[in-house]
């Protein structure tokens, strides 16, 4: 065991048991040489990725735990009467060193992991779970928080201070502070198990995604595939010393394969591999893990006094209750299914022309949809991709954010990054004032989990009356450059880029007093508003002309092609809405059970989808064994939030569009000041109404999806 670890374990014992005559203060802690625990002497004090080693994480986390234990003990040992400053603010400011280390660690286990980090995550998870419980279940600490809360009417708190106090107090009660000692021990065990199971689920999914390869040696089996996809598959094969082409389960490979491959049997092969991830009855199977997670969540919810886990989760959301969230999903289901059935009939008719007997299968949908898109709208995705080079789309996003908020972006190659693919950007106001730092990480690799997300390495807060600038990152899995051809994005990837950038703006433009209320620290069904509203600028005709330029000629996207995109705007929305709603309803079904599940997740999912009457041609966007959003990603009982925020975002963009100016400065100022800057300092609907003037209406969403 390293010397640092021995020292840290000793300090933890001293902090908890008080076995030392003199408890060291945080300031008296010996300084280690661990880069994660030192002050960061880097541009903008970003993480020193170039000096951090895998073996640094656990000692740094243990040291951070020890320091926060001392900070918490200082709060509970304070002989002065509990006040907002000596209890609530002191608690808010505790754990800074731990937060630095865990933030870097967990971001890299998602974006650039390896076997050591994955093993470490299983080691560290129970330590952090136990530490969190030691704070949340600390009776003396809770008594002080409760005293401040109960005396709040006598104090003249600002609205932000009052919000922080309310959040802290409710967090204690929601995390078991009122339980008996025996119940607290049970809760600790549940939390520890859940933390480990969540990590195991995610690691299994990454392994399953990386392990499958569709190897092709006969060139005729490439029929229908676009040249750039074939070239990418060839590069993958060359990297693996295989003489042929390799297609994978990463989205930039599997999705276009399903969309264009003429060979139906190969489409079936790769589709089945995709939909069976985590469901192969091997050491990476997620069935039992998902089942255990669901049952542990139910046990936790009941222990805390809730009927089910969804009721527990949604208490602090905009929806407030599972019934309210489910109501929106149900209202959209019927029109979405009707549209999807009409789309399925078109596919069946085309299959008959191709002399293919039998029903439409899920692996047929994307292939024939592409043919129908071409026939109906003369629109081929390969026709649009040359106008969407990654560099042009990125510049388009910069232009949009400059026009709306005056932001400037400048790449700084001296800022350390965690992988050669990652770029770092300094973000400033129009007058040059610092806003923050933004990392962008775009391409798939085996060390990165699938999907796209925004995260932070440092949240915004105020320190000594000065704004601490945030450090934000967006991570995606876009089509890679091939040879001398730049990365050319699909239309879906373009909107994904805008989406994640909207999240980034929420983090970057935050301007609040407390870190725990900053940026994206808002209810799950509000957090998608800033991201989804940005997608509307991605597809607006006026904006397209600003950034959609042919990567070879520089020609602006033609009006005729924009018209095709607009005409096809509601095309395939039945399928897309149904697959999303099916996953959202499956999520809600799992988390509204009131008795432990005894059936397998496969059986539960089938029964849920049969009850829903999900068309056989469509599967849920995420099935139980690879639904990482809800089993390892923080969206449990919250996947509905994308459509909930969809109501908000379409209504919000309509405020710009109906004004006649998509860059309306007055509207942009209102949105920035009342949504992007405010974080979680006020109730979400109050913030929205301050921007819009009224609650959102569903009409714009129905129109956008062609469901009205």
Average pLDDT over residues 277-303: 98
Whether residue 697 has pLDDT greater than 90: no
Q: What confidence score (pLDDT) does residue 16 get? A: 25
Torsion angle, alpha carbons of 308, 312, 313, 315, to 10? 130
What tokens appear for 26 in the block?
Answer: 């945080």
Question: Which are the catalytic amino acids?
Answer: 500
What tokens appear for 178 in the block?
Answer: 């009122």
Contact 9, 378 (CB under 8 A): no
Task: Please state the pTM of the whole predicted model.
Answer: 0.93
Quote the DSSP letter at residue 88. I
In the block, residue with structure tokens 């020609």: 555
Average pLDDT over residues 602-627: 97
Q: What confidence score (pLDDT) does residue 42 get? A: 97
What tokens appear for 473 in the block?
Answer: 């990152």
Average pLDDT over residues 20-40: 64
Whether residue 15 has pLDDT greater than 70: no
Whether residue 7 has pLDDT greater than 80: no
Whether residue 1 has pLDDT greater than 80: no
User: What does the pLDDT look like over 492-533, one tens digit per residue?
Assistant: 999 999 999 999 999 999 999 999 999 999 999 999 999 999
Pairs from 370-373 (Cβ < 8 Å, separation ≥ 24): 370/259, 370/260, 372/346, 372/347, 373/568, 373/571, 373/572
Q: What confidence score (pLDDT) does residue 26 get? A: 43
Contact 546, 308 (CB under 8 A): no
The domains located in the chain, with CATH, are 3-136+138-178 (1.10.1370.40), 212-275 (no CATH), 287-379+574-631 (1.10.1370.10), 386-567+641-705 (1.10.1370.40)
- Of 5-19, 499-513, 551-565, 606-620, least confident by mean pLDDT is 5-19
Whether residue 617 has pLDDT greater than 60: yes
Q: Which residue has the higher pLDDT, 11 or 300?
A: 300
Contact 264, 363 (CB under 8 A): yes
Residue 325's alpha-carbon distances to 293, 302, 574, 636, 638, in angstroms, are 22, 20, 20, 13, 9
What tokens appear for 687 in the block?
Answer: 């913030």
Tell me the DSSP string of 317-328. Answer: SSS-SHHHHHHH
Q: What confidence score (pLDDT) does residue 21 get? A: 32
Q: What count of other Cβ atoms lies within 10 Å of the Cβ of residue 551?
A: 18
Label residue 12 by pLDDT band (50, 70, 90).
very low
| Cα–Cα nearest to 307, from 322, 319, 294 | 322
Percent of the chain clearing pLDDT 70 (strictly above) = 95
Q: What confidence score (pLDDT) does residue 31 get? A: 57
Whether residue 383 has pLDDT greater than 50: yes
Q: What confidence score (pLDDT) does residue 8 get? A: 27
Q: Which helix (H) or strand (E) holds 436?
A: strand 434-441
- The Cα–Cα gap between 182 and 245 comes to 59
Contact 163, 676 (CB under 8 A): no
Helix axes 641-657, 573-591, angle to 10 degrees: 140
Mean pLDDT of the chain: 94
- The Cα–Cα gap between 111 and 206 comes to 11
Helix axes 573-591, 322-353, angle to 10 degrees: 140
Torsion angle, alpha carbons of 616, 621, 624, 626, to 10? 130
User: What does the pLDDT look like over 62-118, one tens digit per residue?
Assistant: 999 999 999 999 999 999 999 999 999 999 999 999 999 999 999 999 999 999 999
Whether residue 9 has pLDDT greater than 80: no
Whether residue 43 has pLDDT greater than 50: yes
């Amino acid at each position: 065991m390293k010397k640092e670890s021995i020292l840290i374990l000793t300090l933890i014992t001293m902090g908890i048991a008080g076995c030392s005559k003199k408890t060291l203060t945080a300031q008296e802690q010996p300084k280690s040489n661990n880069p994660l625990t030192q002050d960061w002497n880097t541009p903008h004090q970003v993480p020193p990725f170039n000096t951090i080693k895998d073996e640094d994480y656990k000692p740094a986390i243990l040291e951070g735990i020890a320091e926060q234990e001392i900070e918490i003990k200082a709060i509970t040992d304070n002989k002065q009467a509990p006040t907002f400053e000596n209890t609530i603010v002191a608690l808010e400011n505790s754990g800074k060193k731990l937060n630095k280390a865990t933030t870097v660690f967990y971001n890299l286990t998602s974006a650039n992991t390896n076997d050591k980090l994955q093993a470490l995550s299983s080691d560290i998870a129970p330590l952090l779970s136990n530490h969190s419980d030691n704070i949340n279940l600390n009776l003396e600490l809770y008594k002080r928080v409760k005293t401040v809360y109960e005396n709040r009417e006598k104090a003249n708190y600002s609205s932000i201070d009052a919000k922080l106090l309310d959040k802290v107090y409710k967090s204690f009660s929601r995390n078991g502070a009122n339980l008996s000692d025996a119940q607290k021990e049970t809760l600790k065990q549940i939390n520890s198990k859940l933390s480990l199971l969540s990590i195991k689920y995610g690691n299994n999914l990454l392994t399953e995604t990386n392990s499958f390869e569709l190897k092709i040696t006969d060139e005729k089996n490439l029929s229908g595939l676009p040249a750039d996809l074939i070239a990418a598959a060839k590069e993958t094969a060359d990297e693996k010393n295989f003489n042929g082409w390799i297609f994978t389960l990463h989205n930039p490979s599997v999705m276009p394969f399903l969309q264009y491959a003429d060979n139906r049997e190969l489409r079936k092969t790769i589709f089945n591999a995709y939909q069976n991830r985590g469901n192969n009855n091997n050491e990476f199977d997620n069935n039992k893990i998902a089942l255990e997670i669901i049952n542990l969540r139910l046990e936790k919810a009941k222990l805390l006094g809730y009927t089910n886990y969804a009721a527990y989760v949604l208490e602090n959301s905009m929806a407030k209750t599972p019934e309210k969230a489910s109501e929106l999903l149900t209202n959209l289901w019927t029109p979405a299914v009707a549209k999807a059935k009409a789309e399925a009939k078109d596919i069946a008719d085309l299959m008959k022309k191709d002399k293919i007997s039998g029903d439409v299968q899920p692996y047929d949908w994307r292939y024939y949809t592409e043919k129908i898109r071409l026939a109906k709208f003369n629109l081929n995705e390969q026709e649009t991709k040359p106008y969407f080079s990654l560099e042009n789309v990125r510049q388009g996003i910069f232009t949009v954010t400059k026009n709306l908020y005056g932001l400037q972006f400048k790449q700084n190659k001296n800022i350390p990054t965690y992988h050669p693919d990652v770029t770092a950007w300094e973000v400033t106001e129009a007058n040059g004032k610092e806003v923050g730092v933004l990392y962008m990480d775009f391409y798939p690799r085996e060390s990165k989990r699938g999907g796209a997300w925004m995260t932070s390495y440092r949240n915004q807060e105020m320190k000594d009356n000065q704004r601490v600038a945030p450090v934000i990152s967006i991570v995606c899995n876009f089509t890679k450059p091939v040879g001398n051809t730049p990365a050319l994005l699909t239309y879906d990837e373009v909107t994904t880029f805008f989406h994640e950038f909207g999240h980034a703006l929420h983090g970057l433009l935050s301007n609040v007093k407390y870190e725990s209320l900053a940026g994206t620290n808002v209810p799950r069904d509000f957090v998608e508003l800033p991201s989804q509203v940005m997608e509307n600028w991605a597809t607006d005709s006026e904006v397209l002309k600003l950034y959609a330029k042919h990567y070879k000629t520089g020609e602006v996207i033609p009006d005729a092609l924009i018209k095709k995109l607009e005409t096809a705007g509601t095309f395939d929305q039945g399928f897309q809405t149904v697959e999303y709603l099916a996953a959202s309803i499956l999520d809600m079904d799992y988390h509204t059970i009131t008795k432990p599940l005894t059936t397998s997740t496969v059986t539960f999912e089938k029964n849920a989808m049969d009850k829903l009457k999900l068309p056989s041609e469509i599967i849920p966007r995420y099935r139980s064994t690879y639904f990482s959003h809800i089993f390892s990603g923080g969206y449990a009982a919250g996947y509905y939030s994308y459509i909930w925020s969809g109501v908000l975002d379409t209504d919000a963009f309509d405020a710009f569009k109906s004004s006649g100016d998509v860059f309306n400065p007055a509207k942009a100022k209102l949105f920035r000041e009342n949504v992007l800057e405010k974080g979680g300092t006020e109730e979400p609907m109050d913030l929205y109404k301050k921007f819009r003037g009224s609650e959102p209406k569903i009409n714009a969403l129905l129109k956008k999806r062609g469901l009205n």
